[in-house]
């Protein structure tokens, strides 16, 4: 697999991607990922990829990497394709699909978070999409690691809690499960949606909110979610120890049934 030097995804970040978990011979939540990719294409005015082609490319990547019997991360990249110099796309645009797979081991321990200076641009539609420009996320993770943490806590330009560098964030306020609203500049995570559904199935109240960073100081049971880690507890935030919430284990088990 090679990428042309004039590929718009490579040159301009013009495109989208999805990362899926391969586990037990199955692409977990494939339809949800394909739905989100199609929705992102509509926002970016890109033709959506054929679902059969997406699945075939993912399976071929797993086979090529020799990972069929193992747990793996599969990345499907949908680039706007080749298009000459400048910002304007060619007409017609001819998107290109790339697929790659790599071994994926779930985290062995809870995460430790550090609040970073890099902010989410809640006013940009790309803050709610998995575009090919992830440089803010790269910088946020680097700042968190420099602070001795595993992962970043990112705020938006208004100082509201948004997400981690590569994960959605949840916490408990009493018996209520809370997560930042999408309007904060948050990706509509596949596992995020499953957590909200699972929580309601367990009888938990849920809320999508605009929250200041200070609000997390009184929160319990913080955790992160994405398609590769499932539900990962947070053990510390900016030097403060965070204890798990009593409902957290049941929620993690419920989510694992559908998301791996």
pLDDT number for residue 83: 87
pLDDT number for residue 194: 96
Residue ranges of domains in the chain, CATH in brackets: 8-103 (3.30.470.10), 111-259 (3.20.10.10)
- Would the pTM of this model clear 0.85, i.e. be above it? yes
Q: What share of the chain is helix, strand, coil (3-state, %, to 5)?
A: 30, 35, 35
- The DSSP code for 48 is P
3-class state of residue 60 by DSSP: helix
pLDDT number for residue 134: 94
- CB contact set of 42 (below 8 Å; sequence gap of 6+): 48
pLDDT number for residue 96: 97
Which has the closest alpha carbon to 156: 213, 106, 104?
213
* Cβ atoms within 10 Å, residue 140: 26
pLDDT number for residue 258: 75
What is the end-to-end Cα distance of the chain in Å, rounded? 29
Q: What is the pLDDT of residues 43-71, one digit of tens each?
A: 999 999 999 999 999 999 999 999 999 99
Segments in the chain below pLDDT 70: 260
Q: Which helix (H) or strand (E) holds 73?
A: strand 72-79
pLDDT number for residue 260: 67
Which has the closest alpha carbon to 171: 201, 212, 141?
212
> Rounded to whole angstroms, how far apart are CA atoms 163 and 139?
14
- Is residue 168 within 8 A of residue 192, CB to CB? The reply is yes
Question: What is the DSSP annotation of 123-147?
Answer: TSGGGGS-BS--HHHHHHHHHHHHT
């Amino acid at each position: 697999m090679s990428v042309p030097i004039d590929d718009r995804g490579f040159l301009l970040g013009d495109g989208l991607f999805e990362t899926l978990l391969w586990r037990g011979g199955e692409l977990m939540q494939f339809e949800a990922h394909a739905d989100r990719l199609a929705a992102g294409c509509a926002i970016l005015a890109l033709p959506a990829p054929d679902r059969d082609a997406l699945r075939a490319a993912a399976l071929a990547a797993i086979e090529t990497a020799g990972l069929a019997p193992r747990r793996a991360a599969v990345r499907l990249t949908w680039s706007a394709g080749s298009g000459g110099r400048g910002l304007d796309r060619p007409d017609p645009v001819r998107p290109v699909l790339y697929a790659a797979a790599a071994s994926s081991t779930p985290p062995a321990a809870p995460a430790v978070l550090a609040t970073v200076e890099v902010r989410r641009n809640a006013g940009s539609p790309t803050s709610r999409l998995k575009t090919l420009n992830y440089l803010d996320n790269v910088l946020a993770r680097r700042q968190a690691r420099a602070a001795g943490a595993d992962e970043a806590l990112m705020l938006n330009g208004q100082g509201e809690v948004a997400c981690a560098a590569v994960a959605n964030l949840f916490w408990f306020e009493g018996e209520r499960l809370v997560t930042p609203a999408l309007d904060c500049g948050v990706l509509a995570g596949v596992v995020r949606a499953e957590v909200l559904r699972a929580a309601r199935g367990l009888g938990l109240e849920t809320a999508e909110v605009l929250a200041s960073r200070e609000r997390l100081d009184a929160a319990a049971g913080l955790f992160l979610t994405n398609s590769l880690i499932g539900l990962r507890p947070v053990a510390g935030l900016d030097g403060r120890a965070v204890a798990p919430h009593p409902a957290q284990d049941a929620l993690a088990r419920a989510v694992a049934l559908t998301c791996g």
